[in-house]
Structure 1
Amino acid sequence: MREGTLLPVELIDEIVGYVRHDKHALQACASVSRAWNAVARSYTFRRVTVKDEDKLSELEDLVQVDPDIGLCVRELIFGPFTPSKTYRASIKWVARIPRVLPAFLPQVRAIRFERLSDAAEYCDAKFFRAFTAFASVTRLVLDDSAVNIPTLRAFACSLPHLQELAVLGMLPLMVNVWQPPPLICRPRFTSLALDFAVQPSTTMADFLDWFHKSEARHTVRSLDLAVKVLDAKPVNTLLAAIGPTLDHLGLKLQALFSSSWECDRKCAPSPPAPADACHKAVAHHVPHLPIFFFFAQLSRAPSVSRPAAPYARWPCTTPCHVR
């Protein structure tokens, strides 16, 4: 490896950043010189994926031996967890996550769990108290994970500086936990993305009941929500409460049945009150007529810059896609 460099560090950073998604290109950049290696390392360890207990042990050993690597990590991804005969036994290592890593990852900004199953069984009160050590994390994503509402609330209340919470699909929880985990911090996130389209109505109702009582109700500025058409009433209540403060609103209404009685204007969500408080509205995968009326009302607000009003189909048999 050569000691010198003929290019400014800023230019090296731009070049390496251009190929940051190519593993082999990053390895080649790291072998040019010490200056190139330092820049390439920052991109190599920017996003770290941990799929099993062995990988977690390797990461713990690595950041303890070389603390500079821990300074490079910006995003931690745990999973995807794949079902197997020993799945329930092998996933217990999840409880180890906050024991060592927080002290060596002071600049991590995002944590993502993919296909985490039965989190409530392994993420107990001790886990969440240790999880608060990830004080630098501002974004938390639970993607296709089996969590109950108490566990979801505990995740949201265990990160003191959490700004973005995304629940991208919730799977049925197979384990009942009678003792809810503690709520340690007061959530003040500004961005909320929830997918309750395949959940029982009581699941969303339980979450909204907690949300309305939390301080996050006053801090959310961006909302992306996926719900069933039949759950439009709780959506009305939510929009009435936080509509005036929203800057972004995204709705996805999912139909479980293709019956005409679902396509009733009475089921349509009401626009935020006042409607001109929302600056951007987007509709995705909207299969039914009620949302058409919603965006027809919302689009009359003068400050809505990009309303995406879907077309209506009658009778509703297949979803129409709006991007």
Structure 2
Amino acid sequence: MMKSLIIDWKDLYFGVEIEFVGGNPEVVELLPGWTMALDERQIDDTGEESGSELQTPPILWEDREQINEMLLRLIATGARVNWNCGLHVHVSIDPWGEVAIPDFIDAAIQYQESVKNLFHTSEDRLVYCPPVTWEMRDQYLSAPGDAALRHKGRPQSHRCGINIAAWFDNRTVEIRYANGTLKYDEVITTVEFCLRFVAAIGARRKLSCTPKHMANDLGVPHTGYPPPIPAPLWYRERIWLENMFVPVLTPLVASIVPDSEILHILPRPDGLLVAIENTDGKISKYLFHLSSSGWKMKGKLPDS
């Protein structure tokens, strides 16, 4: 069992992942340690892959002005956010160590709904932040490791809204519920909540499950977080169709790539493009078409 350890929230290292569309990410001059994940493309208003993900290095609260500087540089290229963008905050749980993971699992189960409601997470983004479950807790206690903490099946994200599996990647917990924003005040309000929340769980404090009362307990604002942005109807219709096709195509996909999952499905003039993710996280794309005898694979598409 974890021993409570009181850590000043300002002494916790954190990192922020800022998703956006548009702009010209390739030309943004980065501060030392910052990265631009050019393979992290969001869907823009036309349905095209766009933008990128701007990532901080591990920094402290006193370094937060770096975020403002990088946001200004990014916005200057024409970057913006839409319904498909999120704001992810990683907070170090290194001071408590791996022994603390069961406590953070319990806290996620107890408080994740409250965090989601305080952040007003867009309904269209919930697919990217599924909940931590009691089943995950039981699996972790019987076989500790990141596999127990990764979501499987639809929705397609393996990373929960409170992603404790991040410990095994970079010794953090990742909070993914915030909507996308390029406004410094909204980013920093979200960061402060995440730092105070993690520090409170590490100290084994009991928090209210009512969002406003939780904010009071943590000493953070009730408002000021990135607002939800509704998705256009064409995108929602695409997701509805995709969700209908997934159970139909899953048996065929499993015969091609065992133990895999369908990441997304897109219509093409010559069939359906199905992106498949294997257990190692590698993504392959296949083209399927509907014949008189059922769905058939036309071939594998070259890696992009």
TM-score in terms of structure 1 length: 0.25
TM-score in terms of structure 2 length: 0.26
- Work out which of the two has the higher radius of gyration on C-alpha atoms and give 1 or 2: 1
Question: Quick check: which one's strand share is greater?
Answer: 2
Structure with the bigger RCO (C-alpha within 8 Å, sep 6+) is 2
